[in-house]
Structure 1
Amino acid sequence: MPQHVLPAPARTAGRIFAWILGAVLLLAVVAAGWIGVRGVLAANHLLAAQALVEDIATDLDNLADAEAVTAQLTEHSGSARELTSDPVWQTASGLPWVGPQLAAVASVAAGVDDIATGTVAPLAASADGLTANAFLPADGRIDTAAFASFAEPAAQAAENTAKVLADVTAIDRTPLAAPLAEIVAEFETLVGDAATTTDSIARAALLLPPMLGADGPRQHLLITQNNAEWRSLGGIAGATSVIRTDAGAVTFAEHLSTADYSSYPTSVLDLGDYGPIYSQKPGRFIHNVTQVPDFALTGALAAELAAREGVEVSSVISTDPVALSYLLAATGPVQLPSGDTLTADNAVQLLLNEVYLRYEDPQMQDAFFASAAAAVFEALTTGATDPTALLGALARAGDEHRLLLWSADEAEQALLAETTLAGAPPVSDSSVARLGVYLNDGTGSKMDFYMAPDVSLTWSGCTAGPRTLDVKITLQNDAPADAATSLPAYITGDGAFGVEAGLVRTVGEVYIPEGFEVVSSANSNGSGFGGGLVDGRQVLSYTLDTTSGETGEILISLRTTADVPRAEAWVTPTADAALFPVVDATCG
């Protein structure tokens, strides 16, 4: 049965209720009389509310029933709020020790009710017709009106959730008992998840109608990255296609081989600080537009290069064969003109390796890629696609930085900002120090299919004052021992760029977090480091060569005085779906 788009915030609210139950029960033990009784009553209401949330999350086929259940939910959450905010409770909140505990529980109960009444309820009430099936064409068109009508309530829900998050973040946890402090921290995390979800829904409701041509015909450039030849954002631009949208109708217009694009002696756009680091190459060749770790610049470069070939596009979308395999899990297998059956299980192997073993002519390879893209597109737009699986596939691809989007329209690009789809460089904040760990092929080959990267982060200590963060990058070469002679020249590169066949050269960059300085760095090849500055941020670059069966290492030690509890590295997505491109380390 079709699933409604609301289960994510609903499930989040359910987890919130479960945690606040623990807080109320804790206070029922330490408080007496009136407060203790009301605490138990509030716990009962929250328990009932939790059961209702589970009903909302699991069965939303009938909107009327969903609204009725939501009404019961808000009644119970409102009662819990009332029971923890009466004059006696408020007065007791001024007492030593127990007072801050009571105040914290009241604040969280209020937050629970605000989520129920200001987020879950309005989304359920206004989502008529917006099931997962709304993302699929009916009679060749996607109904853009369903998304447009949902935009305002979705924006209000997102604003409400953001306010709840600000309120719970402001709770002083210093005087709280350890169990309650933990519950408040978990509540903040869960509301943060809900804020992210509702914000994404609100942005999508505004963005999808114009992207689907609700305001007039649009052309989009689809880039399929090839992870067998690394670039910072994943892989080279292995193929491009033009997709047209008009009043919700989506058509596959044409395929552009990368051989159709011209190359230029200088960059077609100003690369700023990226220019010297990447030798201006991202703006000279279509293959290299994904070398800059900022998809806003990548999209602008790709659009400009396409325009110089007479193809005007208003946006650029990027994906890769791994993301394609996720989509195939929703569409089911598709047949290719070659006679192959493309499935979720064989897509990566077939598109990133086997095609090169089968066809030596690059034009034949491009034709194969084009036929695969067209077949999957047709399955998505005309086949019996599982809508829930499709949404899951798109969400997973976005989380793994394998689905990226840029729009030439400033308002649309602003909606994309601060989402994973924007493909922006990692930026640190007060709680997380973020690094960029990017991998680029230096061989001119498709040998990165055989490379297994691993990135780890380790804090040296968690005490106040200066401390270090150790970054370890391991590159393991799993190519056949006789790769130089057993693999086609197109895979090995055949020494065309000065790297002998069978050898894999990786050119990597590490974008250092703001407020960190490099203490030491080492390359197992024995070579040094280069780099530069991007927007005042230090970038270390290195070259690491590995032969078949060899493992190379890069070790970097960073020092900071900032009291930041977590570190996070954003790593180039590879051909291995098991390697999640975000690695973190928590201090303590």
Structure 2
Amino acid sequence: MGRPWMAVALLAVVTFGAAGAWLVVRGQQAKVAVEALRADGAVLQAQLEAYDLPAAGQTLAKVRVDAQKAHRLTGDPVWGIAGYVPVLGRDLHAARQVSAVMADITTAAQPLETALPKLQPKGAAGAQGQLDTTALRAVAGAMPQLSAAVSSGAVTVGELDPDGLRPDVADGVTTLNTALSAARGPFADAVPLLQELPGMLGADGEKTWVVLLQQDAEARGTGGLVGAFAELKTDQGRMTLADAESRSKLDRGPTIPSVVAPENLREHYGKDLTEWAGFNASPHFPHTGELAAAGWKARTRQDTDFVAGVDQNVVAALLAATGPVEVRGVTVDSSNAANFLSKGVYARWQDPQVVDTVTTELVQATFGKFSRGEFSLPTLIKSLREPVRERRLLLWANDDEVQAQLEQLSISGTIPGDPGPFAMTVVNNGGGNKMDAYLQVDTRYDPGTCTNSARVGQISVTLDNTAPKDGEGLPSYVNVRSDLIQRGLTGKVTRDGSNRIILDIYGPVGSSAVLTQLDGETVVPVTGLDNNHPVWRVSVPIAAGQERTVNVVMSTPVVEDDAGQIPVVLNQPMVKPATSSAEPLTECKTSSVVGG
């Protein structure tokens, strides 16, 4: 009788020996491919940061070839089986997963290889400042697949445990995991905007934009008082400035037909919604967009396709891309624009009409440069990141489908109307001055305790008027209590650095105020409703150097499985950036007390 087991064992030794040798060779080849992938990836990142799009398109193609080669070398059955071998198998499995993820992502990104080089704005030799909307559509078309690949890759790589891997493999896994986790949200957020961007730039015909310059020194819900506006036209990727005027031109009438706003909003904000000086009192920018479009049509008998809200920080970002402009002998650039618009313009010119004219001239000069193509697109993209994050650049579309896409993004200025822990402090200037440039706002959300499906928590708002004592050194145009003058008061009391704040505190959907206090004293708030949120209003006079606190104790219905959630607290754009904090929600307890 033969010994077949010996033959089998010998065959196994030969097979595994050959497989081991094969893995060594393939491993060396894969290592070379991965090193090339890393090197080309670093070059690509630098090119994208420098906005060298033609070079980035070429490098992206190289990265794809590198990734596919690494994937081929690590993707065959033998490598897959070897991934189950103790110790060494962990490294092989990680390399296989990483290369597969990179191959999927670069394949999804392949359309960008030809589209990216076409996104350079054409200069003086062509149509000035014009963007290729066809290339933009190609990018938009690729983004859903690319976003899905990045999201899926983040999950796959996130499941790999770097502990126990060889240091070089562990480093690669950690680096890729960090990059994909960071990119996952931005890629997903970019999809709806990129899909609409070609149309916004006039790919399908001319579009009309109304851009509102909001001066945060006199606070309004979406930022500040509209001091000037610009009418822009976009057509086939090119932007032109059609008009720029101070708000006084809008004030001449007709008034805004506020009937386009919800009834509960009209009840709370009243006739302010009919006036260009107060129509943006609600922080929910879709309301502002609808009202602005209705007012624009009443004035011009023409529709507007988009309404944008910008403030002094956005103007500073635009000037970073265009370079400085000259206004009445003053050089305004990205370093001084925010201060110039919120304080400097009032210190230099006392006449309100001159201030409005200067502000308008700044808007004309800035957007005029964009019309002439005198701007750096890479710088613009980088400089706008922070203003967008702070809700200082807001956008509304006069098309339901486009608006639905935009409302997925923070740039829409939407106040979410769903149940859940939420707070927002909204300041509207009640003094008729520019003293909000000195106002610091801090909001603290304490969800409190939960018993029997009801939470009793608190929203606490601290207001700090940092103006100099007695308003010393402040321009009279800034330091004035127009509300007191209208009541017949005169003298120092009307120019002492004080202010009056119309404070609206937005609470969670379905909540009710149990107790409202101003500096510990009980007050009765004016109540309202905005996009499903209860609104509690308190009028707060505040002296120069004074700090005041408003507390709202509220009862909030419990949302299923909400324990551990961090409340959403939104900050209104202010000259002094508002701050906020929130504690996570606790478990809801069931009371064991029985009455009797």
- TM-score scaled by structure 1? 0.77
Per the alignment, residue 549 of structure 1 pairs with 545
1:443 aligns with 2:412: no
Q: Distance in 2 between matches of 1:303 and 1:212?
A: 18
Q: Which of 114, 117, 130 does residue 128 from structure 1 map onto?
A: 117
| Conserved 8 A contact 2:542-2:548 | yes
**Contact 1:400–1:580 (Cα < 8 Å) also in 2:** no
Q: Cα distance, 1:532 vs. partner? A: 3.0
Q: Per-residue CA shift, 1:326-345, capped at 9, x if unaligned?
A: 22222222111x21111223
- Residue 501 of structure 2: SS of its match in structure 1? strand
What's the counterpart of residue 156 of structure 1? 142
Q: Partner residue of 1:539?
A: 535
- Between the aligned partners of 1:327 and 1:428, the Cα distance in structure 2 is 34
Query: For residues 204 and 102 of structure 1, what CA distance do their matches in structure 2 show?
Result: 39
What aligned pairs does 1:193-342 form with structure 2 within 5 A after superposition?
193-199=182-188, 201-260=190-249, 261=251, 262=253, 264=255, 267-282=258-273, 284-310=274-300, 312=302, 313-336=304-327, 338-342=328-332
Deviations 1:92-118 (CA, angstroms, capped at 9, x unpaired): 8xx9xx999999997776544432332
Read off the aligned partner of 1:405 and give its amino acid letter.
Answer: L
Distance 2:209 2:174 in 1: 42
Give the distance between the partners of 2:562 and 2:27, measured in 1 at CA. 40
Q: Give yes or no for contact 2:162–2:174 (8 Å, CA) kept in 1.
A: no
Choose the corresponding residue for 2:506, options 503, 506, 511: 511
Q: Distance in 2 between matches of 1:469 and 1:82?
A: 55
Separation in 2 of the partners of 1:265 and 1:209? 30
Count of aligned residue pairs for this structure pair: 540
Which moves more between the two structures, 38-47 or 477-486? 38-47
Q: Cα–Cα, structure 1 residues 264 and 72, in superposed 2: closer, same or farther, change >3 Å? A: closer
- Secondary structure in 1 aligned to 2:280? helix
Q: Distance in 1 between matches of 2:73 and 2:372?
A: 49
Report what 1:382 is aligned to. Answer: 372
CA contact (8 A) 2:390 2:573 kept: yes
Question: In structure 2, do the counterparts of structure 1 residues 138 and 351 end up closer, same or farther at CA, with 3 Å as the change threshold?
Answer: farther
Structure 1 residue runs without a partner (length 5+):
1-32
Residue 134 of structure 2 is aligned to residue 143 of structure 1: no
Q: Distance in 2 between matches of 1:324 and 1:205?
A: 23
Write the deviation string for residues 559-582 of structure 1: whole angstroms up to 9, x where unpaired.
657124323311111113xx3777
CA distance in 1, matches of 2:133, 2:383: 20
| Moved >6 Å (runs of 4+) | 36-45, 89-92, 98-109, 170-173, 175-180, 183-189, 459-462, 465-469
Residue number in structure 1 paired with 2:465: 477
Partner of 2:10: none
Q: CA deviation at 1:457?
A: 4.5
Give secondary structure in 2 for the equivalent of 1:279. Answer: helix
CA 1:518–1:328: 2 relative to 1, 3 Å: same
SS at match of 1:425: coil
**Letter of the 1:443 counterpart:** G
Deviations 1:280-299 (A, max 9, x none): 522x1112232122222211
Please state if 1:372 is matched with 2:362. Answer: yes
Correspondence for 1:524: 519
Residue 317 of structure 1 aligns with an amino acid whose one-letter code is A
Alpha-carbon distance between aligned partners in 1 of 2:306 and 2:403, rounded to the nearest angstrom: 9
CA distance in 2, matches of 1:553, 1:318: 30
Asked if the contact 2:440/2:578 (under 8 Å) is kept, the reply is no
Residue 488 of structure 1: how far off its partner (Å): 1.2
Q: Deviations over 1:120-166 (max 9, x none)?
A: x44234323224x46x776554434x232342443333234236526
Do the aligned partners of 2:428 and 2:502 also contact (CA within 8 Å) in 1? yes
Counterpart of 1:524, as a letter, is: D
Matched, 1:62 2:48: no
Q: Check 1:100–1:424 CA distance in 2 against 1; reply closer, same or farther (3 A cut).
A: farther
The secondary structure found in structure 2 opposite 1:278 is helix
User: How far, CA to CA, are the matches of 1:203 and 1:446 in structure 2?
Assistant: 37
Measure, in 2, the Cα distance between the counterparts of 1:104 and 1:466.
Answer: 47
CA drift of 1:215 comes to: 3.0
Q: Which residue number corresponds to residue 108 of structure 2?
A: 118
* Kept after mapping to 1: 8 A contact 2:424/2:569: yes
Task: Give the number of the structure whose alpha-carbon radius of gyration is greater.
Answer: 2
Q: 1:76 to 1:543 in 2, by over 3 A?
A: farther
Task: Verify the 8 A CA contact 2:216 2:575 in the aligned structure 1.
Answer: yes
Does residue 388 of structure 2 align to residue 393 of structure 1?
no
1:399-452 residue CA offsets vs partner (Å, 9 max, x unmatched): 2211112221334323323122211114669xx954333221122221101112
Q: Are 1:137 and 1:143, in contact at CA under 8 Å, matched by a contact in 2? A: no
**Alignment partner, residue 343 of structure 2:** 353
Farther-moved stretch of structure 1 (71-80 vs 548-557):
71-80
Question: Over residues 363-397 of structure 1, what are the superposed CA-to-partner deviations in whole Å (9 max), with x where a residue is unaligned?
Answer: 22221111111111223333753332111123332
Contact 2:57 2:117 in 1 (8 A): no
Counterpart contact for 1:73–1:116, Cα < 8 Å: no
| Aligned amino acid, residue 141 of structure 2 | A
Partner Cα separation in structure 2 for residue 225 and residue 78 of structure 1: 52
Letter in 2 for 1:372: L
Q: Secondary structure at the match of 1:230?
A: strand
* 2:569 is the alignment partner of 1:569: yes
**Post-superposition shift, 1:225?**
0.3
Residue in 2 aligned with 1:71?
Answer: 64
Q: Is the contact made by 2:458 and 2:553 (CA closer than 8 Å) also made in structure 1?
A: yes
1:364 and 1:47 mapped to 2: Cα distance? 62
Q: Deviations over 1:61-89 (max 9, x none)?
A: 42564144223442365258637996536
TM-superposed deviation, 1:310: 1.8
RMSD: 4.5
Q: Secondary structure at the match of 2:277?
A: helix
Counterpart CA distance in 2 for 1:403 and 1:287 is 19
SS in 1 for 2:467: coil
Structure 2: which 5+ residue stretches go unaligned? 1-19, 166-171, 587-596
Residue pair 2:442, 2:579 contacting (<8 A) in 1 also: no
Q: Distance in 2 between matches of 1:472 and 1:106?
A: 52
1:397, 1:478 → 2: CA distance?
23
Q: In the aligned structure 1, how far is the partner of 2:259 from the partner of 2:405?
A: 26
**Alpha carbons of structure 1 residues 420 and 47: separation in structure 2 relative to 1, 3 Å:** farther
CA distance in structure 1 between the partners assigned to 2:454 and 2:152 by the alignment: 30
SS of corresponding position for 1:345: coil
Shift in CA distance, 319/101, structure 1 to aligned 2, threshold 3 Å: same
Which of 318, 333, 352 is 1:362 aligned to? 352
More divergent stretch after superposition (102-111 vs 290-299): 102-111
- 3-state SS of paired residue (1:290): coil
